[in-house]
Structure 1
Amino acid sequence: MTTDEVKQKPIGSKDTKKLVILIVVMICIAIAAFLPPPEGLGDKGLIMLSIAMGAAILWMTEALTIGVTGLFIIFLQSIFGILPLTQGLAYIAHPVNAVVLVGYLLAGALVNSGMDRRLSLTIISKMGEKTSQLILGIMIATAFLSMWMSNTATTAIMVPIATGILTMAGAKPLKSNFGKALFISIAFAANIGGMGTPTGTPANPIAIALLNNLAGIQLTFLDWTARALPLVILLIPAAWMIVQKVYPLEIKVVEGGLDAVKKQLKEMGPLQREEKRVVVLFISAVTLWLMDSFISLPSDWLYIVAVLLTIIIVTPKVGFMPWQEAQKLIGWDVLFLVGGGLSMGAGLKATGAIDWIAGILSSGMGSMPESIAIGLISAATGLGITIFCSLSGTATTFVPVAIGLALSFGWDPIAFAVAAGLSSSFAFLLPANAAPNAVAYGSGYFKTIDMFKAGVVMIIASIVIQGILAGFLLPLIF
């Protein structure tokens, strides 16, 4: 498209397309209310499925923002008598959002103190001047930070560090394989690291909450992390090797790169008082979250700790930031999305839609081994993120189906829910699939096709590794 064509393009054309999509979705849902349902599914079940598909379309096209789409689900459920409005809105205040909320605040405390940068530089300083080792060091730092804070914020932190290394190495944007490999690796590591803990990405607590709502099973912080961390540990070196295989590094050593990193660390000086306080905060948070795995505590301890930490972080004098500042860090749209997603899961269950879908899938999956079925669920979810372009939206859509399928055949619902939840983060194919990808893409060091080439191999490897772990190895432990 030429510059003149861009100038002549009507200003509101994009918004017009979004409005048309929204109207079409609403019309289709309205038509579904008058259609005879298929055998085995009630009238409200068909309507609920149409609402779910409509929400998926809105997530894919961004005709409505993700938060408003969550409200859209709750609104339609109340209009068609699927769930009362009060029940739907109550999901916005679901305890799972306490975990999502505190994740934003912990990230803010880490960034404000400067501890995030110190930690990143420290890890990189231990890796030497070889470019392959530098990439691994940056990936480890990115993945570790992403376990505790926003994947997007983590990527944004790593971009200037990586840019400095590339500049020192003389790597040219779009021409250097080192540049492509480094920034694609950062995006991959951010998505992988987010899988590791319930606070890593909203898709994780969504899966935990849906498992509780649909199967009555409550996972602790350690329950999730113990199942997710092995995947993180395996995927980081897998991504590291895949990206370098696809883009062989033309620069083997960054002369002075290690010295530059150490110089930045030296300029930061010893740990400052605020950094020490943040370290204590994180150690306290992890300790509290792990306690219910060793001693008897309330079943919702994960959420109780999240609320406690939120209060501490914004308490005057003893906290880490005033509430006015904290509000700017919170992704309110994600909180609405989580509420709408949980409401959708409840609606699918209440109308029998999940059982109906599971029944359809049973014809092809019921006779296969549980381990293979988990692999297929992982594959479907991992490919689903490419379409939905939303980790939370993908988890909201696929986790209920995975749980329903497991319950139908007497399989382990935990294994299926965790597999689908983790696979929601397999956003490796396109820059538009997840915010970390877009931030890394904004560096200008790689094109969409560059990520696609590495992403195809990465998705396949992730599905295979996840299938082996969830279907064969983890059942031997849990």
Structure 2
Amino acid sequence: MNSSQMKMLLLVAIGCILWFIPTPEGLTDQAWQMMAIFVTTVLSLILAQLPLGAMALMGLTLATLLGVLPIKIALTGFAHPTIWMIAAAFFISRGFITTGFGRRVGYWFISKLGHNSLGLAYGLVLTDLLFAPATPSTTARCGGIISPLFRSVASAYDSDPEKGTENRIGAFLVQCILQCNAITCAMFLTSMAGNPLAANFAKEQGVEITWAGWATAAIVPGLLCLFLIPLVMYMVFPPELKKTPEMREIARQKLAEMGKMTRDELMVCITFIGMVSLWVLGPTLGIHATVTALLGLVFLLLTHTITWDAVLGEKEAWHTITWFAVLVMMAAQLNKLGFISWFSESMAESLSGFGWVTTIVVLLLVYYYSHYLMASAMAHISAMYSAFLAIAISAGAPPMLAAIVLGIFSNLYMSTTHYSSGPAPILFGAGFHTLQNWWKIGFIFSLIVIPIFVFVGGAWWKLLGLW
């Protein structure tokens, strides 16, 4: 029996054990059975025998086949507004790459800041930050925009692992990109595909997080981290090459080769500015965040900046719609059937001797470091976010604070290992670090990032009135 068959057998065994355990007092049989299917589905996403979408559909089919849910309810997740907001953002983000607008902005930052290796790092980080609000695919953002820029810089200075020159500048830049990418993902509701999932789980528990609310909460600790990470990296793991005066000229040459901004780039720029503006002002104007995303997509289609064939060919978006819709539906049913309230009350009793501050700090640390066991942020959020939020609220934590902080931490752990996020294997695969060094740097920076968000973030959230 091979490894794949063993994992599938393990999934079946766990599912059967959970299904046949007697229903605890205070729960209906339907609620317990829904939990068994949900846990088995999430474990299948973690073990990943098939693509996430395929495993999620198996869970949905099982729920209907076993009579736990009628098919009309099982398919309700596909009508959820959050699903289509994130899908539209995926489609729009493709325009940043195909039109060359992302590369143009990156080269512009490098032309201004690229006089030394630290400036180059900040240029790449600022490029990531700029596109984060409208690019929920971290893999597309890093792989399609940031990584090509990084490789251009490394190549220009002959920093190549195969030649033993990785420490000239490449090793420094690649870790700056990874560590800061986790921060940019944490700063906006739409900068990582799992963030809307977390927000939806929070909504199921009565906490509605807005785009502006998330961004406001994350902006101060996030910007501080983006400033400090390259600086600390420069001091602790310095590049051999400190001065890079030629890079500014190289960037200017690249911009000259690209010529003037094209019409399609201009359309993408207008769409980007318009969407971010409406996401901020949407609650005041009465415009739903999903309507804003769809408006941006329609504008790009009407102006022929992107084609419908390109939308249909965006596999990652359709893949995300599938697994996202299933998990949203299952989480909603767990809450509706009373499992979440039963679980949170049970956990609250066991933690009754602790204050809410201690409880939430412990939860955040467990939530962060348990990601060493995970290869997917989405699977991690699906497995732990709802339960941890319920425990925090039951312990007395302000609901909005707990929901946003857990949402932010759902991104911070994405820089820990070489498999912790979509960008991680892309950047690790470039070969600039050994596995041991990669993990060491990830752990060291966790000791910097977590205190910043707990203490500086905590003070900022106090000023905002979140607690």
Give the TM-score normalised by structure 1: 0.88
For the Cα contact (< 8 Å) 2:355–2:395, is it kept in 1? no
Contact 1:285–1:305 (Cα < 8 Å) also in 2: yes
Partner residue in 2 for 1:207: 198
Given residue 203 of structure 2, which amino acid in structure 1 is its aligned partner? N
Q: Which residue of 1 aligns with 2:398?
A: 412
Map 1:434-473 to 2 at 5 A: 434-469=421-456, 471-473=458-460
Match of 2:45 among 32, 40, 59: 59
Structure 2 contact 117–243 (Cα < 8 Å) conserved:
yes
Following TM superposition, by how much is the alpha carbon of 1:342 offset from its aligned partner in structure 2, in angstroms? 1.2
Does residue 1:423 correspond to 2:409, yes or no? yes
Query: What letter matches 1:276 in structure 2?
Result: L
Query: Is the deviation greater in 435-444 or in 20-29?
Result: 20-29
CA distance 1:204–1:356, change in 2 (3 Å): same
User: Superposition pairs for residues 281-292 of structure 1, below 5 Å?
Assistant: 281-292=271-282
Matched, 1:394 2:380: yes
- Paired position in structure 2 for 1:68: 54
Q: Does 1:85 align with 2:71?
A: yes
Aligned equivalent of 1:335, options 308, 321, 325: 321
Gaps of 5+ in 2: none
Query: Are residues 96 and 419 of structure 1, via their aligned partners in 2, closer, same or farther at CA, if it must alter by over 3 Å?
Result: same
Contact 1:92 1:335 in 2 (8 A): yes
Matches within 5 A, 1:185-224: 185-215=176-206, 217-224=207-214
In structure 1, list runs of 5 or more residues that go unmatched.
1-12
**1:164 paired residue number:** 152
Question: Alpha-carbon deviations, 1:147-170, whole Å to 9, x = none?
Answer: 321221222222232222223323
- Give per-residue Cα distances to partners, 1:384-421, cap 9 Å, x unaligned: 33322212222222221133224424432222122222
- Superposed displacement of residue 39, structure 1: 5.3
CA distance in 1: counterparts of 2:24 and 2:457, whole angstroms: 34
- Asked if 1:432 corresponds to 2:419, the answer is yes
One-letter amino acid of the counterpart of residue 439, structure 2: F
Q: Secondary structure at the match of 2:191?
A: coil
Distance (whole Å) between structure 2 residues aligned to residue 463 and residue 43 of structure 1: 40
Secondary structure in structure 2 of the residue aligned to 1:21: helix
CA distance in 2, matches of 1:28, 1:106: 40
Structure 2 CA distance for partners of 1:129 and 1:364, relative to 1, 3 Å = farther
Q: CA deviation at 1:427?
A: 0.9
Q: Is 1:278 equivalent to 2:268 in the alignment?
A: yes
- The residue correspondences of 1:7-86 to structure 2 (distance < 5 A) are 16-38=2-24, 41-86=27-72
Deviation (angstroms), 1:469: 4.8
Aligned length: 458
Indicate the residue corresponding to 2:217 in structure 1: 227
Which of 250, 260, 276 lines up with 1:260 in the alignment? 250
- Describe the SS at the equivalent of 1:466: helix
Which residue in 2 is equivalent to 1:314?
Answer: 301
Q: CA RMSD, aligned part only? A: 2.4
Please report how far the alpha carbon of residue 351 of structure 1 lies from its aligned counterpart in structure 2 after TM superposition.
Answer: 4.1
Note if contact 2:417-2:424 (Cα within 8 Å) is conserved in structure 1: yes
Range with greater deviation from structure 2 (154-163 or 406-415): 406-415
Q: What is the alpha-carbon distance in structure 1 between the residues aligned to residue 455 and residue 69 of structure 2?
A: 38
SS of match in other structure, 1:75: helix
Q: In structure 2, what is the Cα distance between the partners aligned to 1:262 and 1:352?
A: 60
Runs of 4+ in structure 1 over 6 Å off:
none
Report SS of the residue matched to 1:33.
Answer: helix
Name the CA distance, whole Å, in 2 between partners of 1:69 and 1:359.
31
Change (3 A) 1:457 1:50: farther
When residues 97 and 266 of structure 1 are mapped into structure 2, their CA distance, relative to the original with a 3 A threshold, is: same
Shift of 1:279: 1.3
Partner amino acid, structure 2, of 1:160: P
* Residue number among 177, 180, 184 corresponding to 2:175 in the alignment: 184
> Equivalent residues in 2 for 1:99-110 (5 A)?
99-110=85-96
Structure 2 SS opposite 1:359: helix
Q: Residues 221-252 of structure 1: CA distance to partner in whole angstroms, max 9, x if unpaired?
A: 21221122233212222332343344222221
- AA aligned to 2:218 is A
Q: Secondary structure at the match of 2:187?
A: coil
Contact 2:359/2:392 (8 A) holds in 1: no
Structure 1 contact 374–467 (Cα < 8 Å) conserved: no
Q: Is the 8 A contact 2:42 2:382 kept in 1?
A: no
Given that 1:390 and 1:433 are in contact with CA atoms closer than 8 Å, whether structure 2 keeps it comes out as yes
Of 435-444 and 164-173, more deviation after overlay is shown by 164-173
Contact 2:134 2:276 in 1 (8 A): no
Contact 1:374-1:470 at 8 Å conserved across structures: no
Q: Does 1:119 align with 2:110?
A: no
Distance across 2 between alignment mates of 1:465 and 1:81: 48
State the 1:455 CA deviation. 0.4
Aligned 8 A contact 2:357 2:397 in 1? no
Are 1:378 and 1:466, in contact at CA under 8 Å, matched by a contact in 2? no
Please tell me whether the aligned partners of residues 246 and 453 of structure 1 are also in contact (alpha carbons under 8 angstroms). no
Q: How many Å apart are 1:363 and its aligned residue?
A: 4.5
Kept in 1, the 8 Å contact 2:158–2:165? The answer is no
1:187 is displaced (CA, Å) by 2.0
Q: Distance in 1 between matches of 2:49 and 2:235?
A: 38
- What percent identity do the matched residue pairs reach? 20
2:227 is aligned with 1:241: no
Q: Secondary structure at the match of 1:199?
A: coil
How far off its partner does 1:119 sit?
0.5
